[in-house]
Amino acid sequence: MDDLRHIDRVIPGLYISGARAVYQAPALRKAGITRVLKLYEGPPDWPPDFHVCDNPLEDGAPIPSYILSAGVAFIHQSMAAGEKVLVTCGAGISRSSTFVLAYLVESGYDLRDAWQLLRQRHPPAYPAFALWESLLAYYNLPYTLRDILEWMKRDDEENG
């Protein structure tokens, strides 16, 4: 896995990065990562031997429930089949982080714990506020945007 630059493992089998990961296709293949949840529109395109769930959404805008459920279902199905999954958006900061958080919540993590894990494994993680709100609403979570802002502020202070 040392060959993979700017691609972070969140939990076994689940990885996160930005669109530039496509240029590391040979290293991804070598690592056994050939399933991609693509959250950006247009190029760069993935090689034909990668199984890509093309699930684009606009960054900073609320996530339609059908897009959130389709993306998380792709991760679940891939992981259940023993496949490694890369979740990718333009920069690997907002949209991809949101879908990783959604998967972790559906896998039994509390949102706060999921956030701490994600920031530890992928420090650039920083979902846009509308995406946080989409998670809170979709999963009917007992947190507010104010709680999340406090988490983010604490993380920023602790990590300098």
The structural domains of the chain, with segments of one domain joined by +, span: 8-158
pLDDT-derived band at 2 (thresholds 50, 70, 90) equals low
pLDDT at 158: 77
Adjacency order of strands within the sheet including 84-89: 8-11, 14-18, 84-89, 33-38, 51-54
Angle at which helix 145-158 crosses helix 111-121, to 10 degrees, equals: 30
DSSP assignment letter at 62:
P
pLDDT band for position 20 (cuts 50, 70, 90): very high
Mean pLDDT of 14-43: 96
- pLDDT greater than 60 at residue 96: yes
Residue 63: phi, psi to the nearest 5? -90, 120
Q: What is the pLDDT of residue 154?
A: 85
- pLDDT reported for residue 157: 78
What pLDDT shows up at residue 103?
98
The pLDDT confidence band at residue 160, using thresholds 50, 70 and 90, is low
- Whether the pLDDT of residue 156 is over 90: the answer is no
Tens digit of each residue's pLDDT (9 = 90 or more) over 74-85: 999 999 999 999
Residues 6+ apart with CB under 8 A from 136: 143, 144, 145
Closest CA to 101 of 71, 59, 56: 71
pLDDT at 153: 87
pLDDT digits (tens, 9 = 90+) for 50-60: 999 999 999 99
CATH of domain 8-158: 3.90.190.10
Region 9-35: mean pLDDT is 96
When pLDDT is cut at 50, 70 and 90, the band that residue 4 belongs to is confident
- If you average pLDDT over every residue of the chain, what do you get? 94
φ and ψ at residue 13, rounded to 5 degrees: 90, -10
Residue 26 pLDDT > 60, yes or no? yes
The total of other beta-carbon atoms located within 10 Å of residue 108's CB is 8
